[in-house]
Structure 1
């Protein structure tokens, strides 16, 4: 990268959200700040990233519009979700083997509070879970051209997250929580990606990435839907210590499958606008933040979606 923009000054996320599957509500975080796909990890050696994401899903939607829950009389013949508050922390360890090859490991910790009125009930049932989610291992290769400005990603999402959480309040107390709301999906997923990056002019850089997630195994009659994340962004690299960025992020996800899946109320197409910035504290240490708002949402069945989300984090290069 050019000297005006240090290699390790960027946004740190590595598409964590696809590892989270929420039954009856699609993932509310589509932000991408994958260092590799943005051309910011061409250096060798270890880097560590710690990120906090918050998003509250409290807007009930069907198709491309909102659903007025006030019109529902209880007991109802279908589940009516109330809200889901997600406070997630992700540790990412990235190691650049050389200018062409690299590998990263993601370890997410999921903190989730959920309220819903199950079909046939008249009162709210609640759940609160705090547990490790599904780990992800992702390799990369970008030695296809002398500029090394495009590459491929490949790896696995592993079934390391807990899948046995239960409701802890209300009429459903003690009953198993929906599989899509568990910290882990129970599936092993194949990850395949393609990315490109480069300068637009002396003031702006760009990046684009697509990452496909294909579940290849299932657990206890539940399999998440095939998913695709698409991201594009521009950075203003002439502002000195602060590096602003604007992203457009899309998540396309098919329906869940299996006897324990909520087939009717899963799968969606989501598009978000994500402004943010990185602050270069030193050459090695960076802080960053992003705010995300939806610009298009289409869901299957009845699902709750976030009105906004934010991410804060710190990144250190050794």
Structure 2
């Protein structure tokens, strides 16, 4: 049950940004991946609100994958022999701009739509090469449409998510410089997966006291088909968060975000260098700007990482969200 408080409007808005969408934090950051775009960098994903209405979100995410990792350890590039029998990724810098619309039909039902646009710079040394090959790409990613139902109990504290990720992003971008110029980028680095993916999840929210709230969420993302020899790995996300709502005008919070991701499969997949387990701490703060506008920010810091094969990972992920409730 949500207690009344002078911060109630901000609490409701922040809750809609946090409680059901935290699994969308871009934990995935493999060397041959879309570093989170296609699994939703939206920590404002599908929302959680007991009040009917429409919310518009514009979010910016910064992901600089400049750390080469193997298993649970960082790899010093000077220790990797070049040329190598494997591709050695050098770095991937991605900026996401995500437009989100969330509509709460009534106390029980809601619908959320998110469309990411991305800009990406990527550099790698292909197997057997000594020079760097690179690419600069941009465009829309895969569209997410997620419904929710939270009418199981009178306090609406439990919710169910169900939806699809649709293949709206390109899958044919190419390297534009270096020895591999003109060759198609790895599928994990394309704007989209090319597949239609099922998204299902469950979440729970509760007030611990007058000033403290918590939430938990479990979410599954599963590809329903294969496209041109590629099928992304299954992803399971488990998240929890704690918020202090005793201040006036802003709400500090801390989330724990975890994700297990399976191998890519298919003729165009990089099976040996895909698959991961990541746990991250995400401190953040949300503030009200006027009666209908909110500004939220999170800094995601990995505390445990295990990658299969050679993969790139960020030292941190920064996310900022501007929301407007109509």
Aligned residue runs from structure 1 range 189-200, under 5 A: 189-200=197-208
Partner Cα separation in structure 2 for residue 225 and residue 190 of structure 1: 12
Looking at structure 1, the residues matched to 97 and 192 of structure 2 have their Cα atoms a distance apart, in angstroms, of 14
Contact 1:125-1:170 within 8 A present in 2 as well: yes
Is 1:144 aligned to residue 152 of structure 2?
yes
The whole-number CA distance in structure 1 between the counterparts of 2:167 and 2:41 is 22
Q: Distance in 1 between matches of 2:59 and 2:89?
A: 28
Runs (4+) of structure 1 exceeding 6 A deviation are: 18-21, 29-32
1:182 is matched with: 190
Aligned to 2:132: 124
Q: Which runs of 5+ in 2 are unaligned?
A: none
Q: How many residues align?
A: 316
**Unmatched segments (≥5 aa) in structure 1:** none
Aligned to 1:8: 13
The normalised TM-score by structure 2 is: 0.92
Cross-structure match for 1:273: 281
> 2-side partners of 1:199 and 1:91: how far apart?
29
Counterpart check, 1:227 vs 2:235:
yes
Matched, 1:103 2:111: yes
Q: Is the 8 A contact 2:30 2:312 kept in 1?
A: no
Q: Tell me the equivalent position of 2:316.
A: 308
- Normalized per residue, the structure richer in helix is 2
Change (3 A) 1:93 1:137: same
- TM-score (ref. length: structure 1): 0.94
Listed as ranges, the matches of 1:228-267 within 5 Å are 228-267=236-275
Aligned equivalents of 1:31, 1:106: Cα separation in 2: 10
**Is residue 2:208 matched to residue 1:208?**
no
2:73 to 55, 65, 70: 65
Change (3 A) 1:218 1:31: closer
Distance 1:200 1:245, change over 3 A: same
Distance 1:60 1:18 in 2: 17
Moved more, 22-31 or 1-10: 22-31
| Deviations 1:66-124, CA, capped at 9 Å, x for gaps | 11221223221110000100100111101111000000101000111101000011100
Secondary structure of the 1:12 match is helix
